[in-house]
Structure 1
Amino acid sequence: MAKSMRDLQVGENLGESRWVKVDQALIDQFADCTRDRQWIHVDEERCREESPYGQPIAHGFLALSLLPGLLYELISPPEDGYALINYGLEQVRFLEAVRSGDEIRLEAMLESIQQKSSGTLYRINCAARINHREKPALAAALLVLCAELKQ
């Protein structure tokens, strides 16, 4: 169950999301959407022959784009009348290739809370872990604004 933003404490471990499978269909959809159809992502035969991974890998930005949805499994706005808004990213690092068929999940920790005129800004340190691998796919600080909606 997602924790209310109002109850979070700096330094709190927010937990882990469910595992999400990054299959070839998802990679192909992302390639079509972003127009990034580089062979290392979409050409299974060429990847078997030429890629050091032996199969297609997901775009780094695909793994990154999954983080907000996975984060919202862990946290939620404090009540009706508020919205969580993606405010930005800091210190994004792509550390390990996500291969077609891998499962990833989010691990998150609240680093800081800052009051702004537009709402409360949360800086959340995130890692996208790959099932059965030591190194995470990526690490990043997600900036999430909890903003009050106009009534």
Structure 2
Amino acid sequence: MPREIRLAEIMGLIGQEVGVSRWITVDQSMIDTFATATDDHQFIHTDPERAARETPYGGTIAHGFLTLSLLSTMNFDAVPAIRESTMGMNYGFDSVRFMSPVRCGKRVRGHFLLADARFRGGAMVTTTFDVSVEIEDEKKPALTARWITITQFDPKDRPEDAG
């Protein structure tokens, strides 16, 4: 997939996987930084020795919301930019499911399938992605989500067949 696409190409990509991100290692430093940012210091995330003793995971696991927050960097890494974009915005999620814990030290990457794209008003396109976050060497993904974003563009760049 190219690093950049034209706005007029977006509709032709519906139903296709438009990108797979690079691998990201979720280490204890990342988990601890997230715990500090969110004030969520539950031992399953921040105490490797206790987590090894008292959980079935053999050590700490990432916060589910940490894995979810990595979608932004995965998207930037994997999904082609729209050439005519002036700004992108997170619109929200129709669904998010945390399928499997991410153990400390594991690598994850995002798979992005463009499920839908709709032009809104004169200068925006809403894109809906079916996203799966793969955990290296594991069968179940860390999470699945239906993520909606909005791209703003100059109205003069709107494709003629955009409805």
Question: What is the TM-score when the length of structure 2 is the normalising length?
Answer: 0.85
Residue 147 of structure 2 corresponds to 142
User: Where does structure 1 lack aligned partners over 5 or more consecutive residues?
Assistant: none
What's the CA shift for 1:5? 6.0
Give the aligned partner of residue 136 of structure 2. Answer: 131
Give 2:160's aligned residue.
none
Question: Matched residues in 2 for 1:3 and 1:81: separation?
Answer: 10
In the alignment, is residue 121 of structure 1 matched against residue 122 of structure 2? no
Q: Are 2:53 and 1:49 equivalent residues in the alignment? A: yes
Moved more, 112-121 or 70-79: 70-79
Equivalent residue of 1:93, what SS? Answer: strand
Aligned to 1:22: 26
Cα-to-partner distance string for 1:55-93 (whole Å, 9 max, x where unaligned): 000000000000121111222442365122111112100
When structure 1 is superposed on structure 2, of 18-27 and 43-52 the one drifting more is 43-52
Q: How many Å separate the matches in 2 of 1:14 and 1:56? A: 32
Structure 1 counterpart of 2:3, one-letter code: A
Tell me, what secondary structure is at the counterpart of 2:74?
A: helix
Deviations 1:96-139 (A, max 9, x none): 00000000000110000112236100000000000000000000
Shift of 1:2: 2.3
Task: Determine the structure 1 residue equivalent to 2:106.
Answer: 102
- For the aligned residues, what is the CA RMSD? 1.8
Structure 2 match to 1:93 = 97
- Pairs aligned (count): 150
SS in structure 2 at match of 1:48: helix
CA pair 130-86 structure 1, distance change in 2 beyond 3 A = same
**Rg: which structure is higher?**
2
Partner of 2:158 in structure 1? none
* Deviation at residue 149 of structure 1 after TM alignment: 6.7
Instruction: Supply the distance in 2 between the matched residues of 1:40 and 1:90 (Cα, whole angstroms).
Output: 28
Partner amino acid, structure 2, of 1:84: G
Structure-2 change in CA distance of 1:126 and 1:85 (3 Å): same
Task: Summarize the Cα distance change of 1:123–1:80 in structure 2 as closer, same or farther, 3 Å threshold.
Answer: closer
- Identity %, equivalent residues: 34
- Where structure 2 has 5 or more consecutive residues not aligned to the other structure, the ranges are 156-163
